[in-house]
Amino acid sequence: MQSALHLIYPSQCISCRDLVEGDNALCGKCWRDTPFISGLTCDKCGTPLPGDETGEDILCDDCMTIARPWTKGRAAILYQGNGRKLVLAFKHGDRLDLAHPAGQWLARIAAPLLDSDTLIVPVPLHWMRMLKRRYNQSALLASSLGKATDQSFCLDLLTRTKRTRSLDGLGRDARFQMLADSIRVNPKRRHRLIGRKILLVDDVMTSGATLAVCAEACLAAGAADVNIVTLARVAKDV
Ligand SMILES: [Zn+2]
Ligand SMILES: [Zn+2]
């Protein structure tokens, strides 16, 4: 059945639509053009850092100066070039099919942060924005990651209590200010979080303000620990 389907609908590169071997794959050129993060990275946000891995935890300049209420963080790709193009297609271009390969990429980097008790939780989207966009891309990533790793996930553990305008273009302090108190643990789901390790999932990490507010909400509600993974990290000068 699968091979018959391939004769009718050959697999296409998820980025440029060229024909490729296997489903949900990038062609060789797009793979090379997509800035997957590897090597030495910041232990809190996943930004690539110069130098070799030493086995010791190391932080980027941002994570040394900004409060990060979570323990560890990783990112799959840099938010630039083809990485940015894929994230934008996923977020605003109705390319929901990208959730599957993105979940595989997240599974690879999230592996060291997971144990049998970890609960995977997406950063929430306000329902008004959800109506406009029709889906929460972070929830799609969280469920795809949960399925890829056979790990439990809860898509409505966190909710937005007030609508925040888009954070694009705002400075760091303005972002943190805007988000304060905007995220709550869903009282109906709180029992799932108590005493557990939470892995927060978001599509893009810019300042980290949203993730910080989510992590604080989880810890205040009784989570034992919080780690984060993002599909893409906006890095300043790499
Ligand atoms: Zn391609
Ligand atoms: Zn960092």
pLDDT in tens, 154-184: 999 999 886 666 767 777 777 777 777 789 9
The whole-number average pLDDT for the span 182-204 is: 96
Distance 212 CA to ligand 2 centre (A): 13
H or E element, residue 82: helix 81-92
Please check the confidence at residue 238 and state whether its pLDDT lies above 60.
Answer: no
Distance 31 CA to ligand 1 centre (A): 7
Q: Which ligand is in closest contact with the Cα of 17?
A: 1
Distance 41 CA to ligand 2 centre (A): 8
Which pLDDT score, from 0 to 100, does residue 10 have? 74
pLDDT in tens, 130-151: 667 778 999 999 999 999 999 9
Q: Which ligand is in closest contact with the Cα of 20?
A: 1
Q: How many whole angstroms from its chain centre is CA 208?
A: 11
Please check the confidence at residue 5 and state whether its pLDDT lies above 70.
Answer: no
- Give all strands (DSSP E) within the chain, no chain letters: 73-78, 119-122, 158-160, 183-185, 197-205, 225-233
Give pTM, 2 decimals. 0.89
pLDDT in tens, 21-53: 878 889 999 999 999 999 999 999 999 999 888
